[in-house]
Amino acid sequence: MLNKIQNLNYLLIFLIILISFIGAAGLYSAAGGSYSPWASRHLIRLVFFIFLAVILALLNIKYIYQFAYIFFILSFLLLLSVELIGVFGKGATRWINLFGFSIQPSELIKITIILSLARFYHDLKFDEIKRIKNLFFPILILFLPFTLVVIQPDLGTALSIAMLGILILFASGIRIWKFVLGFFVLILSIPLSLNYLQPYQKDRIFSFLNPEADALGRGYQLIQSKIALGSGGLTGKGFLEGSQSYLQYLPEKQTDFIFTLIGEEFGFIGTMFIILLFLLLISVCFYISIKSNHIFGRILSIGVGSNLFIYVIMNISMVSGLMPVVGIPLPLVSYGGSAMLAIIISLGLVLNAELNGNLKKLHNARN
């Protein structure tokens, strides 16, 4: 046990803490220079979740492998329960109250999707990957959560689940022509899919295409976000000096648009610093994936790194006007317990994969 603690990847832990502290500073600013209500809770969650991640990192990876499918089933049941006992908020039913805590199961199921696909491809021989029949299980693992999240409705999270699955399947060795075929099917299905979008989702697409058409309505969020980012310039207006934020022009500044708040106060240099930290964190996950000599650890680590990449690229693209506003948080920075729990726990799994990266076989874990 002591040897494992000494061999933990402290660079990865340091990056988690540093990015989270930057998030706490942003939440402090978003509250007008107060730790309450967001920054204090963010820091308390950080301490508790880091502790959970370290415990998870010290477990025998064979147990994580053994229970991968069980974890998925449990998280799927939580996601299914949203339809029965879900709490409505922000135009959708995405949360459930469990033991006094509000949980968003769609964030947690991303971890178990990664675990399930990692186990599935670990158990396959390399020459079995190309067989069409071996696509059915991965597609089912992705399709069921995707469908439930779309129903909530939460199009942004549903898209992130689809992207995560595609990246994992690609990393697992699925042939390119299958992705090309899937892409054409997706393009052909767009006209049909538009008919099933909620009115507010259509408004987000229209506001993305032409935000100035309704500058005080559906285009308001995106316009104010661009103004805040642009007004930050090279070095920003200074900590606690963001006028867009303090004058309440910037909506959801503690969650979806916290990157914009940081950009206004710390400018281009501040935003690039955050992006570089995320790139380093993702690179560490990919490096651990490369080091692992078993498929389970490789896909687990690359899946977690890919999930982080999707969070970051979607949030930054959203607030800078490169894609419609879809409600994706900036990991470890935005306020929100479920997303923070999911990210830190998944990084605990990566720590575990590195500590157990030299296991020659995991197949005997099934015995």
320 has a pLDDT exceeding 50 = yes
Per-residue CA distances from 344 to 130, 167, 200, 263 (Å): 33, 20, 31, 24
100, 131 Cβ separation under 8 angstroms: no
Quick one: average pLDDT of 323-351? 91
Calculate the dihedral angle through the C-alpha atoms of 308, 313, 316, 319, rounding to the nearest 10 degrees. Answer: -110
Quick one: average pLDDT of 266-275? 94
Other CB atoms within 10 A of residue 360 CB: 8
- The answer to which of 138-147, 232-241, 281-290, 320-329 has the lowest mean pLDDT is 320-329
What are the DSSP calls for 27-59, one per residue? HHHHTTS--TTTHHHHHHHHHHHHHHHHHHHHS
CA distance 48 to 344: 10
Tens of pLDDT, residues 101-123: 788 999 999 999 999 999 999 99
* Residue written as token pair 């708040």: 261
What is the structure's pLDDT at 161?
Answer: 92
365 has a pLDDT exceeding 70 = no
Quick one: average pLDDT of 59-76? 94
Per-residue CA distances from 57 to 126, 198, 255, 278 (Å): 28, 41, 28, 21
Quick one: average pLDDT of 289-306? 93
215 has a pLDDT exceeding 70 = no
41 has a pLDDT exceeding 60 = yes
What is the structure's pLDDT at 190?
Answer: 57
Tens of pLDDT, residues 303-313: 999 999 999 99
Other CB atoms within 10 A of residue 77 CB: 10
Q: Percentage of the chain with pLDDT > 90?
A: 49
317, 323 Cβ separation under 8 angstroms: yes
- Measure the N-to-C terminal CA separation of the chain; round to a whole number of Å: 24
Tens of pLDDT, residues 166-189: 899 888 887 776 666 666 666 655
207 has a pLDDT exceeding 90 = no
Full-model pTM: 0.89
CA distance 94 to 141: 19
What is the structure's pLDDT at 244?
Answer: 73
Quick one: average pLDDT of 45-59? 95
Tens of pLDDT, residues 73-92: 999 999 999 888 777 666 56
DSSP state of 101: E
Quick one: average pLDDT of 329-350? 94
Q: Percentage of the chain with pLDDT > 70?
A: 82
